[in-house]
Amino acid sequence: MKKITIEDVAKRARVSKGTVSAVINAKNTVKPATRDHILEVMKESNYRPKGIARNLKYSNQEKSIGLIIKDLTYPFYTSISKGVSEYAESKGYSVIVSSSNDNHEREKKLTRLFSSKDIKGVIIAPVVDGSAEIEHLFRLRMINYPFVLLEDVKGIQANVVAIDNLKAIKRAVAYLINSGHKKIVHFAGPMHSSHTLERIEGFRYAFSESPLIFNNSMIVSIGSDYDESFVKTKEYFKNLNREDYPTAIVCFNDQQALTVMTALKELNIRVPEDISIIGNDDIYYAKIYPIPLTTIRAPQDEIGKQAAEILLRNIESSTLLPTERVVLETEFIIRESSRVLNA
């Protein structure tokens, strides 16, 4: 099938090539009605703007896709990157990995960079802030640039590959309740992540199916950055009498769980004798922590593989495909950081 060009779009929309180019580059020189008409023609034609490299004299460069993660140092994203790369390379694509460093503005710059170069599509672990604009994602949709998100973003219809956070946390809390724990808290992650909100909801929901009563004091926001989590963990316990300590903590992720265990050691609080700790993700070194971590195993390689598969399917399709939302199951892994109270 003949590939649609910018000239084809201009002809079908009955405008100049320059006008189409102005719409693609988000310039404000085009009237809104004309812009909307051109975008509709682009969508109907399944037209995708070509990168600068495509127009170079030697344009037989290797096909590539982009991956924007939040933190290059966190093994959860390392494993996802591996899954993306293995699948993409099996199909003849290279992967350019970058990090937003959990910064919304940096994510915007990276999406604009990838979509303006000869990079065919992008997988994004989005930085989601309720107050932050998501126009960069809308722009990708407008210009029909293929992308896949690794968590939901409210207000944007897009391809998503995620895990069932609500179900996963609910299972962990149910395990603790069934093990005799009555004083359970959740150390929440960064509030700009939909994963944080889903895990809070899963924690809350678990109590609706138990004789225990949920209250908001059970949710303690300590973030996921090591320094922030360490300081806030120590502050939390210093403001409690020992008899009011929780017997179990469900952490946002494994990295946070390690930080919490380090802080508890400084406070002479024993894990799991005094407090049980549960993490989330089952990153590769969770089982070799000083106290091997009970955690929720996410299928990290599979997340990367599925995201790459959806992205390449959209890149190579000659027609506009419906959006997909894939939700993967997790597994609860019991290790030495948690204990049963009612044995």
Q: Which tens digits make up the pLDDT trace of 166-214?
A: 999 999 999 999 999 999 999 999 887 888 999 999 999 999 989 999 9
pLDDT digits (tens, 9 = 90+) for 279-326: 999 999 999 998 999 999 999 999 999 999 999 999 998 888 899 999
pLDDT at 52: 38
Asked whether the predicted pLDDT for residue 105 surpasses 60, the reply is: yes
Band of residue 165 on the pLDDT scale cut at 50, 70, 90: very high
Higher model confidence: residue 123 or residue 54? 123
The CA distance from 282 to 262, in Å, is 18
Examine domains 62-163+300-328 and 165-298 and report if their fold is the same. yes
Asked whether the predicted pLDDT for residue 56 surpasses 60, the reply is: no
* Homologous superfamily (CATH) for 165-298: Response regulator (3.40.50.2300)
Q: Measured at the alpha carbon of residue 109, what is the angle toward residues 108 and 111, in degrees to the nearest 5?
A: 65
Fold that domain 6-45 belongs to in CATH? 434 Repressor (Amino-terminal Domain) (1.10.260)
Sign of the CA dihedral 138, 144, 145, 149? positive
pTM to 2 decimals? 0.82
Domain 62-163+300-328 has CATH 3.40.640.10: no
pLDDT at 53: 36
**Residue ranges per structural domain of the chain:** 6-45, 62-163+300-328, 165-298
pLDDT at 48: 72
The CA distance from 72 to 92, in Å, is 24
Helices (H) and strands (E) in the chain, counts: 11, 12
pLDDT at 174: 96
| Helix (H) or strand (E) run with residue 328 in it | strand 325-328
